[in-house]
Amino acid sequence: MIRNTHIAAILGAAVIATSTYSFPQSPTATEQTGAAAQAGQAPAAGVPADQQPTKEQLAKLFDVMRIREQLQSMRQIVPSMVAQQIQSAMKQTEASLPAGTKLTPEQREAMQKVMSKYVGKAMDLYPADEMLADMTTIYQQHLSKDDVAGLIKFYSSPPGQHLLDAQPAIAKEYMPMVMGKVSERSKAMTKEMMKEISDTMPAATKPAAKPGPAKPPAE
């Protein structure tokens, strides 16, 4: 009933927003990548092996940054928010159906249960342990030991702690904004995409009629 692309966009936005919000990019990595992009070049080579932070050092950074706590906070915020977006999509789709094809209350409740189940599954597509392991590898390529030491110092300082204390409140304002914009814009984009696909497809043509039996010559 609801466009699969719309549902996928909502769930995808939830996963992406959760992961990107929990891992703010370091200025060093961002500036290096941005400068290379502006110059039309590939990003600079990674940090030399002897200057890379250890896994233990990065584990301390992630601990000071409260990454696991942030992810847990997102798990509490996102599912209900995604469910609201899907419910809104359901109502809009159902309102456009012809009379006599509306969902019964029982069907609507059953559908809500199924959707809630898969919203939970979507949040588990990228587990925290796997995310931390991936980010450890990436941070080692772009941040030096001194960079990580400086970040640990910052996040351990009063301003860093204040920023982390404010993260839950920021998330409550930021996440609905992301989800709402992605949900609304994905509907328009889906319609535009389907129209363009339809316009580029060759028009269906009827097969040529088979010639009938030859008529006898007139006498």
The H-or-E segment that residue 149 falls in is helix 145-156
Q: Which residue has the higher pLDDT, 34 or 163?
A: 163
Mean pLDDT along residues 43-62: 87
pLDDT score at 72: 78
Q: How many helices (H) and strands (E) does the chain have?
A: 8, 0
DSSP letter for each residue of 77-108: HHHHHHHHHHHHHHHHHHHTSPTT-PPPHHHH
pLDDT bracket for residue 58 (50, 70, 90): very high
Model confidence, pTM: 0.58
Q: Which residue has the higher pLDDT, 217 or 91?
A: 91
pLDDT bracket for residue 30 (50, 70, 90): very low
Mean pLDDT along residues 165-191: 81
pLDDT score at 96: 67
Nearest to 143 by CA among 17, 39, 55: 55
Q: List for the chain the helix, strand, coil content (%; round to 5).
A: 75, 0, 25
